[in-house]
Structure 1
Amino acid sequence: MYQLSVSLEQFLSQYWQKQPTVIKGGFAHFQDPISPEELAGLTMEEEVDSRYVSNLDGQWIAEHGPFNEQKYASLTQTNWSIIVQAANHWHPQAAQLVEPFKKMPQWLFDDLMISYSVKDGGVGPHIDQYDVFIIQGSGQRHWRVGDLDKGQYVETCRHSALRQIESFDAIIDEVLEAGDILYIPAGFPHDGYAIEPSMSYSIGFRSPKEQELISNFADYVLANDIGDTHMLKPELTTQPNFGQISSSDLHSLTTMLKNSLNDPQRINDFMGCMLSQSRHQLNIITPDPLWSNEEVAHHLNGGGTLEKVSGLRALYHQQDPTMAYINGEVIKVSAEHAFVIERLCGQEHISGDDFLDDTPIAVISLLCELVNKGYWFIDA
């Protein structure tokens, strides 16, 4: 189990979204949870989001996977990287790197990205709009971080798939070694390249933009057939100018627009559904044959556990622990069974020990439903 050498609470108070910093020895005696060969194996899978980036002789190349053995046989000894997004969804040991950060809201957590770079490999100077903890694995990597983007950085297009910037003055200029952690808030330019073959693990946190909230709410309104009414005005009268929008009409239309936002339960459900959906594909496999309630109860009573699919988001609102939002779906339980919502949303596995007495039939039925959806799986 990985353990941070600093207090996460103190770190958030001092640095979170305020300034970048390097935590030397953030993970003591750090060992890579995955090998370069295993990472390369993931890039060969269709379901896995992977990239290859090369900058040999100043010529930038960026390709999306899956790749094959012939691809790797043709590579040079320098100036390239392979990158796997959402590696925590596909590699259980690598997913353990996320554990020390689970005191932060799950809805903010995006994914664990893993990269392997040979000497001089990197993706060039760029700016991300999310917060990231970059954990150095084996090997060494040289990182430079600039000051907060205030519009002074000029984008360049060395490759259409890479959003890079020209240059920046560094406020951090460090060589990271195994276990060191570089924290970079959103908006700070940065650039890293491998001094020698090295592994790097990026734990990203991303909140939705205002544009995303508005766009996703519009989709939610349409999907749920909300507000399918026109403005009615039986008291309509003539007006002096054909092209005029009267103040009263503008008020009526504005009221219609705001009505959807004035329903607290609707907003709760929208936020829960949106925030509980992962940006990346999940390793969801529905069981065949499906499990029965009796089989699930027998498994739990016999000391077995139900394991949550890695990366699956299960959320609930603080003010209503009877409602869960799991992968965009709404799950409702009675007030007496609210305890199961807190367990589903707050831990990675469910066991019979989570229940003081015999597990209620309604709870077993819910757990069985989630297992048969492939959201939790039986730990054999």
Structure 2
Amino acid sequence: MSYQFHQFNIDSFLKNFWQKKPTLLKGLFKDFQDPLEADEIAGLAAEEQIESRVVYKKQQNWHVEHGPFEEYQVFGETDWTLLVQAVDHYSEEAAELLKPFRFIPNWRIDDLMVSFSTPGGGVGAHVDQYDVFIIQGMGKRHWRVGLQQTMQKSIPHPDLLQVDGFNACIDEILEPGDVLYIPPGCPHEGYAIEPALNYSVGFRAPNQQDLLSSFADFALQEECFNKRYTDPELQATQSPGLITEAETQKLVGLVKETLSQSDSVEQWLGCYLTQAKHELAIEEIEPAYLPEDLAEMLQQIAIWNRLGGLRCLLLADKFFVNGEFIPTEKQQRPFITFLSNHEVYASSDLNHYLTIEENQQLLLALVNEGFIYPLED
């Protein structure tokens, strides 16, 4: 199933709304069809490796339970929501919903969360620190969204951080195909009016702590940035308890110098930005394909898919896949650009690049890793 925007000006949206203010995009998907049914969402939530939770309200008290789930009768017929993370990792049909949003760089896209709500179901008023598009599927849901404002936080359950009261600039009932865009820091709450499915396209936005922590881990793992502080021009001090301004600047300069080593910084950043937040549904190839096996498959199979949720990116001339740096040659740049910019590959397009032996070796390695697989009828 292919999803396309209906009468949507991307440039206008980015200029007027992206990370600025929320907006309701009525009928953004015309004649919207759900890629999954509620039973299929429940089936995913039964899997041990898939992150899921049920948020429900009972006698004015909030509760959260974490999956896997085998049955839902205990929650009743109203006032609960099932949320399943990274559904794009496990469903090719659901992953199609991400494609229209790839006018935003791939490294910013986090995952597709899907929720099923009974009437009255929701997670309460809250604030997220990331951009999100919420697509209304089956059913109807009442949403209130506000601009950034001062609010009182509350923790009705250890797994829930909510806000108490906010002024709404959007107060609407969403129907299938409507899309709500909410920037970071904007309060929002939604409650199902009838059994409803919602699809949340979330975006990653690392903060300084995330970046520094990852950078430090990289430096320890790679045993790089080992330059030590030196002071050959040291002079006797009358204040041994004082750290001088010059010493301070020299120490800080050591830290700054690590960021000036572009090769190491690019390798760290590429690995960091391609690490999957949620587990990938990788199927190991045993025994591994040989070059002649791949050549035969390319003749027999027309279309290949990239694994759902797999991060495959270019940074400068470096190629990164799933948190790993993949060394390539200069002549491979067109091929790795092609692999990074698409999620579906036609054999005819792949063969165009496979006249170069290194590209053949790279594709074979990616297929044997389970990162690219044939889409068989």
- TM-score, shorter chain, exceeding 0.5: yes
- With over 3 angstroms needed to count, the CA separation of the structure-2 counterparts of 1:57 and 1:289, relative to structure 1, is same
> Could you tell me how far 1:303 is from its partner in structure 2?
4.3
Which residue type is aligned with residue 124 of structure 2?
G
Which residue type is aligned with residue 362 of structure 2?
L
Contact 2:133–2:181 (8 Å) recurs in 1: yes
For residues 63-142 of structure 1, the aligned pairs below 5 Å read 63-69=65-71, 72-142=72-142
Contact 1:52–1:63 (8 Å) recurs in 2: yes
- With over 3 angstroms needed to count, the CA separation of the structure-2 counterparts of 1:353 and 1:218, relative to structure 1, is same
Find the counterpart in structure 1 of residue 25 from structure 2: 23
Find the counterpart in structure 1 of residue 195 from structure 2: 197
Q: Deviations over 1:205-258 (max 9, x none)?
A: 121112211111111111111123432334433211121113333233222111
Structure 2 CA distance, aligned partners of 1:300 and 1:363?
A: 14
Shifted more, 364-373 versus 115-124: the winner is: 364-373
Which residue type is aligned with residue 360 of structure 1?
I
Which residue type is aligned with residue 125 of structure 1?
A
Q: Deviations over 1:15-55 (max 9, x none)?
A: 11111111111111111111111111111001111010001
> Could you tell me how far 1:181 is from its partner in structure 2?
0.7
- With over 3 angstroms needed to count, the CA separation of the structure-2 counterparts of 1:246 and 1:135, relative to structure 1, is same
> Could you tell me how far 1:339 is from its partner in structure 2?
1.2
SS at match of 1:243: coil
- With over 3 angstroms needed to count, the CA separation of the structure-2 counterparts of 1:304 and 1:359, relative to structure 1, is farther
> Could you tell me how far 1:179 is from its partner in structure 2?
0.7
Find the counterpart in structure 2 of residue 49 from structure 1: 51
> How high is the TM-score relative to the length of structure 1?
0.94
Structure 2 CA distance, aligned partners of 1:94 and 1:309?
A: 13
1:328 aligns with 2:323: yes
> Could you tell me how far 1:357 is from its partner in structure 2?
6.8
SS at match of 2:247: helix
Structure 2 CA distance, aligned partners of 1:310 and 1:198?
A: 24
Structure 1 CA distance, aligned partners of 2:147 and 2:344?
A: 41
Candidates 210, 220, 236, aligned match of 1:222: 220
For residues 249-288 of structure 1, the aligned pairs below 5 Å read 249-288=247-286
Return 5+ residue gaps in structure 2 as ranges: none
> Could you tell me how far 1:333 is from its partner in structure 2?
1.8
Matched length: 373
Shifted more, 360-369 versus 245-254: the winner is: 245-254
> Could you tell me how far 1:265 is from its partner in structure 2?
1.9
For residues 143-292 of structure 1, the aligned pairs below 5 Å read 143-149=143-149, 152-292=150-290
Structure 2 CA distance, aligned partners of 1:351 and 1:337?
A: 18
SS at match of 1:104: coil
Shifted more, 248-257 versus 278-287: the winner is: 248-257
Which residue type is aligned with residue 338 of structure 1?
R
Structure 2 CA distance, aligned partners of 1:92 and 1:80?
A: 27
Which residue type is aligned with residue 259 of structure 1?
E
Contact 2:353–2:359 (8 Å) recurs in 1: no
- Percent of aligned pairs sharing the same letter: 40
Which residue type is aligned with residue 347 of structure 2?
G
- With over 3 angstroms needed to count, the CA separation of the structure-2 counterparts of 1:76 and 1:27, relative to structure 1, is same
- With over 3 angstroms needed to count, the CA separation of the structure-2 counterparts of 1:359 and 1:303, relative to structure 1, is farther
1:337 aligns with 2:332: yes
SS at match of 2:18: coil
Return 5+ residue gaps in structure 1 as ranges: none
> Could you tell me how far 1:349 is from its partner in structure 2?
2.8
Structure 2 CA distance, aligned partners of 1:250 and 1:357?
A: 53
Find the counterpart in structure 1 of residue 63 from structure 2: 61
Find the counterpart in structure 2 of residue 2 from structure 1: 3
Structure 1 CA distance, aligned partners of 2:229 and 2:345?
A: 50
Find the counterpart in structure 2 of residue 40 from structure 1: 42
Q: Deviations over 1:44-91 (max 9, x none)?
A: 00111101000122111111111113xx13231110010001111111
Shifted more, 120-129 versus 88-97: the winner is: 88-97
Which residue type is aligned with residue 3 of structure 1?
Q
1:371 aligns with 2:367: yes
- With over 3 angstroms needed to count, the CA separation of the structure-2 counterparts of 1:351 and 1:360, relative to structure 1, is farther
Contact 1:144–1:170 (8 Å) recurs in 2: yes
> How high is the TM-score relative to the length of structure 2?
0.95
Q: Deviations over 1:108-153 (max 9, x none)?
A: 001111100001000000000011111111111000011213xx21
Shifted more, 139-148 versus 276-285: the winner is: 276-285
> Could you tell me how far 1:203 is from its partner in structure 2?
0.7
Write out the 4+ residue segments of structure 1 that deviate beyond 4 Å after TM superposition. none
Which residue type is aligned with residue 76 of structure 2?
T
SS at match of 1:356: helix
RMSD over aligned Cα atoms: 1.6
Contact 1:299–1:305 (8 Å) recurs in 2: no
